[in-house]
A and B are shown apart, each in its own frame.
Chain A
């Protein structure tokens, strides 16, 4: 297959709109690993993560027509849909059940040989993003992780970390700005894949 990954994904979405179950199956095989990783990271529970993963692909089956290629890649669309569903679940839990934050270093690595996403463009993008995240100052990275993976507001992050509210706001803003500056060169090369 010579098609670019983004083109292949968009072709699959078109086939899914045509009610081809095989296309959904192929999309699942291409991206379920990454989406499951995101669910697992947010929810900290394999059973719930798998339920959300299934919900996401059922949503893709029902709502593929709402995908707008001008606003980004299929993968970005899937990540947004997955994260919002997982965060909604976290928010409906009672506080005692909420999963605690796990930083990047404590999350178990991918099982060896997992070919959950094998294309080199995605690997290059992921490698660049991980390097960029690793370059963030620890306090900025932690604030961003609490917001993105735990869905916490500024106020909640301040309470969780015992940090003044104004400092939290600054850390989140500066963290995203630094991340933007670090990944911008790649985004400018291939904006549709980012």
Chain B
């Protein structure tokens, strides 16, 4: 049920403030409350408006230079004018100068003491560490972005899934974006399974089940899970959840516990 509390959580989410323990509850509420869904969109626009109270400031020209130097390989622009093209041609001696400088630098490094080598090793280690953390953060961000993209997609449609024996009390909703070919399942009242078993989500396309990922539920029987991109699904006609061996199977074998179309 819509309430001021959820409006407050929508305000926090729009402002990019972590919701902490309320995050999962709000995600579930948002999935079924059109009022809060629209409010969140409005609040995001309002939050962006706040940025305009910070007046523009010119950054040092060195930032732009550092940025462009650090880009790595890029394609040549097709818009070079004549003068610029001549400048590029005249600069063909530059690689030789850089090569000579590199040789000199190598000589200096070779004759330097062990301290510099240790520092270089430390830097490599730090760079690898930072690179790992960056990759992890980027994967996490990309996953959240995809999840948000499904829920906020303009073509998203919602389907209710009802429980079947042996779990008639189970309930779920699937939010499916045909454009993104992805879905988000929000389920409740599912029984936790024995070790070695997992729930598996199926999307039916052209009358055939396509596996859409396996999942476990929390002790209260709830879950929010996102499917991978289902490139093989042209039209999602029906969704179902079955109980399968841990890790999933290519075609359903276990009992259907949730189904809806």
- Give the interface of A toward B (CB within 8 A): 18-22, 24-25, 28, 32-34, 36-38, 40-42, 46, 49-50, 53-54, 57-58, 61, 63, 66, 68, 70-72, 76, 79-80, 83-84, 87, 104, 107-111, 114, 116-117, 125-126, 129-130, 132-133, 144-145, 147-149, 151-154, 169-170, 172-173, 176, 179-180, 183-184, 187, 194
A87: contacting residue among B16, B51, B149, CB under 8 A: B16
Q: Are A28 and B64 in contact (CB under 8 A)?
A: yes
Q: Are A37 and B50 in contact (CB under 8 A)?
A: no
A residues in contact with B59, CB < 8 Å: 32-33, 36, 49-50, 53
Knowing A54-B66, A133-B52, say if A151 contacts B57 (CB, 8 Å): no
B47: contacting residue among A49, A117, A169, A176, CB under 8 A: A176
Q: Are A109 and B55 in contact (CB under 8 A)?
A: yes
B57: contacting residue among A25, A37, A148, A184, CB under 8 A: A37
Knowing A57-B67, A87-B16, say if A133 contacts B49 (CB, 8 Å): yes
Total residue contacts A-B, CB cutoff 8 A: 167
Q: Are B11 and A172 in contact (CB under 8 A)?
A: yes
Closest to B179 in A: A70
B50: contacting residue among A33, A49, A107, A145, CB under 8 A: A145
B residues in contact with A116, CB < 8 Å: 56-58
18 pairs across A/B with beta carbons < 8 Å?
A21-B77, A34-B54, A34-B56, A40-B54, A49-B57, A71-B149, A72-B44, A72-B48, A84-B16, A129-B52, A133-B53, A144-B15, A153-B17, A172-B12, A176-B14, A180-B43, A194-B45, A194-B48
CB distance from A42 to the nearest CB of B (A): 8
CB neighbors of A among B120-173 (8 A) = 138, 142, 145, 149, 152-154
A residues in contact with B154, CB < 8 Å: 70
Q: Are A114 and B43 in contact (CB under 8 A)?
A: no
* A149 to B71 alpha-carbon distance, docked (Å): 29
* A97 to B11 alpha-carbon distance, docked (Å): 27
* A176 to B153 alpha-carbon distance, docked (Å): 23
Q: Are A70 and B45 in contact (CB under 8 A)?
A: no
Apart from the given pairs A72-B44, A129-B52, 19 other A-B contacts in the complex at a CB distance below 8 Å: A18-B75, A20-B77, A21-B71, A21-B77, A32-B63, A33-B56, A37-B57, A40-B54, A58-B71, A66-B145, A104-B53, A109-B55, A111-B58, A116-B58, A144-B50, A145-B50, A149-B50, A170-B8, A172-B15
CB distance from B26 to the nearest CB of A (A): 14
